[in-house]
């Protein structure tokens, strides 16, 4: 599981950075990728990345501002041109369905891969046997959400030495034990708890939309292994950030510290910061509060490692 940033700029693209989009790659876990926001030219960014449209399973939209959604109709249209593309679900706030249906209808775009549009107002957005996704309202000029992606605990490792001692060879029996089913070998019934180690804690990733500091951030970020938080301005522009419903790097770091996250990744940078060098003050300000902070850099992967967070 890893994050891959396709766009890290706020509001407008620049020659150095595109507008907002980040992928959660889960190729080993479920052979797919999820996308969070889809600003203009996201599909162009994908062309220069290891991502594949055919592996895209879900898209989560944080809010309906153009720098987070204008790339969506084009991406869906291009995906439809790939024969045999599997179904895809797009989640987001009220207005998402009208936006997509109107743009796809006006451009006579044919989407034949099974497109489902799910509008939500927070709470549990998606759940299956592997993962659940929850959303919480943030504080922005329009309805905006953050998403908490929780990987469910996985079975512990098998005690290979004990299994070999009991005459259990690698094969289907291993899978049954991993799934919590007892097996019988050479007249011996083996219960899963006899040969399985402690469960492996699932990883938690929190990705926020645009927001001022607000109480809704804490339950989303609590104990997360990685928090992706906007940092539109340095602290000297805190008044401007508040006026336009955004956050500073310091405010992002304070949220990470309070929630006890494993790592903070800053994104959604104002175009006043032209290049990586000019982003260094944001990083320095955040690290002074929360040392485990990184800048989101486009076309760079960020592996997600489970760490012990706040219980």
Residue 310 pLDDT exceeds 50:
no
What are the tens digits of pLDDT across the range 26-71?
A: 988 899 999 999 999 999 999 999 999 999 999 999 999 999 999 9
Residue 237 pLDDT exceeds 70:
yes
| Number of neighbours of residue 297 by Cβ within 10 angstroms | 15
Res 181: pLDDT: 87
Contact between 18 and 45 (Cβ < 8 Å) = yes
Res 196: pLDDT: 87
% the chain with pLDDT above 90? 80
Residue 265 pLDDT exceeds 90:
yes
What are the tens digits of pLDDT across the range 185-214?
A: 888 899 988 988 888 889 999 999 999 999
Contact between 296 and 267 (Cβ < 8 Å) = yes
Res 309: pLDDT: 44
The residue-averaged pLDDT of 125-130 equals 96
% the chain with pLDDT above 70? 99
Domains present along the chain, CATH in parentheses? 2-154+200-303 (3.60.15.10), 160-195 (no CATH)
| Number of neighbours of residue 16 by Cβ within 10 angstroms | 16
Task: State the chain's mean pLDDT as an integer.
Answer: 94
* Strands 188-190 and 183-185, sheet pairing: antiparallel
Q: At what angle do helices 72-80 and 96-106 cross, to 10 degrees?
A: 60
In 158-300 the beta strands, taken as DSSP E runs, fall at 183-185, 188-190, 204-207, 226-230, 263-267, 293-295
Please report which residue ranges of 15-95 form alpha helices under DSSP H.
27-30, 42-47, 66-69, 72-80
The residue-averaged pLDDT of 111-137 equals 97
Residue 308 pLDDT exceeds 80:
no
Token digits of residue 16: 């150095």
Token digits of residue 248: 């500073």
DSSP string of 230-258? Answer: E--B-GGGHHHHHHTT--BHHHHHHHHHH
Helices vs. strands in the chain: H and E counts, helices first: 12, 16
Token digits of residue 308: 């012990």
Res 83: pLDDT: 81
Residue 311 pLDDT exceeds 60:
no
Catalytic residue numbers, as ranges: 67
Tokens 């922005």 label which residue? 140
Query: Quick one: pLDDT band at residue 25, thresholds 50, 70, 90?
Result: very high
Res 178: pLDDT: 80
Residues in Cβ contact with 185 at an 8 Å cutoff, skipping those fewer than 6 apart: 166, 167, 168, 173
């Amino acid at each position: 599981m890893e994050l891959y940033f396709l766009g890290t700029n706020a509001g407008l693209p620049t020659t150095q950075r595109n507008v907002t989009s980040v992928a959660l790659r889960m190729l080993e876990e479920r052979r797919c990728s999820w996308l969070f926001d889809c600003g203009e030219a996201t599909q162009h960014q994908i062309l220069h990345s290891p991502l594949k449209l055919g592996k895209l399973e879900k898209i989560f939209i944080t809010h309906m501002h153009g720098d987070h959604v204008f790339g969506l109709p084009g991406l869906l249209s291009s995906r439809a041109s790939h024969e045999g593309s599997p179904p895809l679900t797009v989640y987001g706030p009220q207005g998402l369905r009208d936006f997509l249906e109107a743009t796809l209808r006006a451009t006579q775009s044919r989407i034949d891969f099974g497109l489902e549009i799910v509008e939500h107002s927070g709470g549990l957005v998606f759940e299956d046997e592997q993962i659940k996704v929850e959303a919480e309202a943030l504080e922005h000029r329009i309805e905006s959400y953050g998403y908490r992606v929780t990987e469910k605990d996985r079975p512990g490792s098998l005690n290979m030495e004990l299994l070999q001692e009991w005459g259990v060879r690698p094969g289907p029996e291993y899978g049954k034990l991993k799934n919590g089913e007892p097996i019988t070998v050479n007249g011996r019934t083996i219960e899963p708890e006899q040969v399985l180690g402690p469960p492996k804690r699932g990883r938690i990733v929190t990705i926020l939309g645009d927001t001022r500091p607000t109480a809704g951030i804490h339950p989303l970020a609590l104990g997360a292994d990685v928090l992706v938080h906007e940092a539109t301005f340095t602290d000297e522009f805190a008044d401007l950030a508040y006026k336009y419903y955004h956050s500073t790097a310091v405010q992002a770091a304070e949220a990470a510290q309070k929630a006890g996250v494993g790592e903070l990744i800053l994104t959604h940078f104002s175009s006043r910061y032209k290049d990586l060098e000019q982003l260094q003050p944001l990083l320095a300000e955040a690290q002074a509060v929360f040392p485990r902070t990184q800048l989101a850099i486009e076309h760079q992967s960020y592996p997600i490692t489970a760490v012990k967070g706040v219980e």
